[in-house]
């Protein structure tokens, strides 16, 4: 288990690297995180939902993702409530106080333990990941993801500490010595992550950490920014906020309060023709060639906020001036004529008018559609004659959208089973429920063509690019860790 001194110390990325390293070394690894809190989720091959981080780690391990890799997923809907997804299916919304109350925890603990047991019967080793800080003393009795999970699995725990944020000695020392003796005995080593500068300057620091924590330092991993691995959640989005520039196609992603599945736009980040930036600044939206309305955990709440802060009007103004507007999932719903929530699935807002850019009406429903899909893209021609299965993506949504009668709009895509999907009003106005639609080069080329011509993109094979990044990450981490010692720790009986 990779446990952290805090959130965002790099546990997920190191877990991804180890999944790849163990696969390269001839093992059959699989990732596991008992409980994840993220709006960035993914659909498994059997149509269930897990956190995106474990899907990425499974891909690095060369295996299909499964709900046993992340049996419990919390999807925040507000500062105080989250949708609880258990074994891939939503079981309702919980406020934080009730969720972390000791009553009912045994049921969840049993569910995540059973998921681990099933996974461990199929794969070896299991690369486990903790959540947040390993030393949240107030939550220790209700914890089901950190050391209690390690105890159930008999896992060797490696503490990950982020030296870039400062305080590495205090955070590592406190994380070790605040544990109960039986839990402290599970911690077998420390990884110092995100080191900047000359590693020789920290040689004495390694010795100090080992002396005060009484466990070996397995390695010091240098900070990197040139290897692309999909992020677990939107903590880094503020670093991607920006503005329009000259000489490139300016693509603006509307920065929603409950933005989800921001990895839908990862391929655009790596296209040399594109300047991709996230913003809710009305002036910067007005400078964009393409405006993307992303998915959201709260369509009606975010739609109301867009009307309140002037972003809705800015999108319509930019569209009237010639910008392309494309919506994905919740963003697609917002582009329609209306969004209704008669059963209060999202909250207290029953109905709002949409942006009116697409002739669709959406009703939010309690049952969630979660599936991977193959589809034929129809934006650039006759969708009926496009090759079947040429494009791939996945759906995760709780709404149904229908086209208004008498409309001249047509479906944007046709799924491989013949079902029409999405809506396109004209070459500058379209939407779809399919996450990952822009990972398909023909869709992205169609969207950029009016602004960038017919030149080849900088990333032509997104799948090959991702695989190459996993290999680069594995090389980077392998070079920094004492792998023989790590293997010895994993194989030891103590």
pLDDT at 236: 61
CATH class of 236-460: alpha beta
pLDDT, mean over the chain: 91
Summarize pLDDT for 471-489 with one digit per residue, the tens.
999 999 999 999 999 999 9
Reference 328, options 301, 306, 348, 358; nearest CA is 358
Options 66, 258, 397, 435, the catalytic residue: 435
| Alpha helix stretches (DSSP H) within 92-135 | 96-99, 105-120
Record the tokens describing residue 228, joined without a space: 């692309």
- Cα distance between residue 101 and residue 112, in whole Å: 17
329 is catalytic: yes
What is the residue extent of each domain of the chain?
2-228+468-491, 236-460
Options 19, 65, 213, 329, the catalytic residue: 329
Query: Fold identical between 2-228+468-491 and 236-460?
Result: yes
Summarize pLDDT for 189-206 with one digit per residue, the tens.
999 999 999 999 999 999
Summarize pLDDT for 17-76 with one digit per residue, the tens.
999 999 999 999 999 999 998 888 999 999 999 999 999 999 999 999 999 999 999 988
Mean pLDDT, range 293-306, rounded to an integer: 95
342 contact partners, CB below 8 Å, separation of at least 6: 350, 351, 363
Q: Write the DSSP string, 127-181.
A: EEB--S-TT-GGGGGG--SSHHHHHHHTPPEEEEEESTTS-HHHHHHHHHHTS-H
Record the tokens describing residue 141, joined without a space: 């009795």
pLDDT at 454: 45
Summarize pLDDT for 87-131 with one digit per residue, the tens.
999 988 887 667 777 677 888 999 999 999 999 999 999 999 999
435 is catalytic: yes
CATH architecture of 2-228+468-491: 3-Layer(aba) Sandwich (3.40)
Mean pLDDT, range 378-386, rounded to an integer: 63
* pTM confidence score: 0.86
Summarize pLDDT for 229-262 with one digit per residue, the tens.
987 655 566 667 889 999 899 999 999 998 988 8
A 10 A CB-CB count for 414 gives 19
């Amino acid at each position: 288990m990779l446990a952290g001194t805090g959130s965002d110390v790099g546990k997920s990325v190191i877990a991804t690297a180890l999944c790849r390293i163990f696969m390269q070394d001839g093992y059959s690894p699989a990732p596991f995180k008992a409980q994840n809190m993220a709006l960035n989720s993914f659909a498994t091959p059997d149509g269930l939902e897990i956190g995106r981080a474990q899907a990425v780690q499974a891909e690095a391990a060369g295996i299909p993702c499964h709900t046993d890799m992340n049996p419990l997923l919390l999807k925040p809907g507000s500062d105080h409530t989250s949708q609880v997804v258990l074994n891939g299916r939503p079981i309702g919304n919980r406020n934080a106080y009730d969720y972390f109350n000791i009553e009912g925890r045994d049921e969840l603990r049993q569910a995540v333990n059973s998921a681990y047991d099933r996974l461990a019967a199929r794969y070896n080793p299991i690369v486990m990941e903790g959540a947040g800080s390993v030393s949240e003393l107030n939550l220790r009795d209700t914890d089901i993801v950190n050391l209690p999970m390690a105890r159930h699995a008999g896992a060797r725990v490696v503490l990950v500490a982020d030296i870039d944020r400062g305080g590495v000695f205090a955070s590592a020392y406190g994380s070790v010595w605040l544990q109960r003796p039986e839990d402290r005995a599970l911690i077998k080593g420390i990884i110092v992550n995100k080191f900047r500068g000359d590693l020789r300057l920290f040689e004495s620091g390694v010795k100090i950490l080992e002396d005060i924590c009484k466990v070996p330092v397995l390695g010091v991993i240098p900070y990197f920014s040139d290897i692309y691995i999909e992020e677990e959640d939107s903590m880094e989005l503020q670093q991607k906020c920006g503005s329009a520039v000259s000489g490139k196609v300016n693509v603006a992603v509307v920065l929603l309060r409950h933005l989800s599945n921001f990895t839908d736009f990862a391929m655009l980040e790596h296209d040399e023709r594109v300047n991709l930036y996230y913003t809710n600044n009305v002036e910067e939206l007005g400078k964009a060639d393409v405006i993307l309305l992303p998915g959201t955990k709260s369509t009606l709440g975010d739609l109301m906020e867009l009307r309140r802060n002037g972003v809705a009007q800015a999108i319509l103004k930019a569209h009237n001036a010639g910008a392309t507007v494309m919506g994905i999932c919740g963003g697609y719903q917002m582009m329609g004529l209306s969004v209704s929530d008669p059963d209060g699935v999202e909250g207290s807002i029953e109905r709002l008018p949409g942006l009116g850019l697409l002739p669709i009406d959406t009703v939010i429903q309690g049952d969630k559609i979660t599936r991977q899909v193959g589809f034929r893209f129809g934006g650039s021609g006759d969708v009926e004659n496009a090759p079947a299965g040429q494009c791939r993506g996945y759906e995760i949504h709780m709404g149904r959208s229908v086209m208004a009668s008498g409309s001249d709009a047509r479906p944007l895509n046709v799924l491989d089973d013949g079902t029409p999907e999405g809506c396109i009003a004209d070459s500058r106005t379209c939407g779809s429920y399919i996450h990952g639609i822009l990972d398909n080069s023909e869709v992205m080329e169609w969207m950029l063509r009016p602004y960038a011509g017919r030149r080849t993109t900088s990333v032509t094979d997104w799948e090959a690019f991702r695989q190459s990044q996993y290999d680069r990450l594995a090389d980077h981490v392998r070079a920094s860790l004492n792998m023989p010692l790590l293997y010895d720790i994993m194989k030891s009986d103590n």
